Amino acid sequence: MNPWRRVEEDQAVLMVIDFQEGLIKAMDQHVGKNAIRNVQILLSFAKEMTIPVISTEQYPRGLGATVVEIKEALITDPIEKFSFNCCSVDTFSERLDRSGRKQAILTGIEAHICVLQTCSGLVEKGYEVHVLADAVCSRRKLDWEVGLRWMEKKGAIISTTEIIAFQLLKEAGTEKFKRLSKLFK
């Protein structure tokens, strides 16, 4: 698959990896708040454009549930997991396969652990992966930076929420554009 293709609403799956209470508390407050805001924007786009969403929780008994701001926008419950690589979790892989889509929009915590290992798994399975640098975070900036570089070397496209959003919109002037572009103000 050409890694420079436009993200298409009929080919994309939004993945929300481990945006949990215990993990978000460990992030820099500004970074965590911004990542949550960007995931909320992406969830609004997914709803409007009928893009499937797959979310996960890493060991929720220890790390808590998905943060309320995100959980309220989810249609399906997060998949509980213990593996860092979501692709090695049967329920995750089954939902992904059922979607029939080949473009992954990847968000999550932590960039250098679960997001990185999931990205690697997706690339190995032949998915075109778009990692949103402003919707993934780590406790330490260096881990975030190195995680993004590693994912790019594995074949992922490093992007941002706004880049992906406007690729999905394709043009201004439509009712969809008028509704969704307001989310960036």
- Residues designated as active site: 18, 81, 114
Phi, psi (degrees; rounded to nearest 5) at 158: -90, 125
170: left (phi over 0), alpha (psi -120 to 50) or beta: left
Number of Cβ atoms within 10 Å of the Cβ of 109:
27
The partner residues of 14 in beta bridges, in order of sequence, read 53, 105
CA–CA separation, 63 and 73 (whole Å): 20
Phi, psi (degrees; rounded to nearest 5) at 101: -105, 160
Peptide bond into 72 cis (omega under 30): no
Amino acid at 154: K
CA–CA separation, 146 and 66 (whole Å): 25
Residue 27, CA atoms < 13 Å, CB-side half-sphere: 24
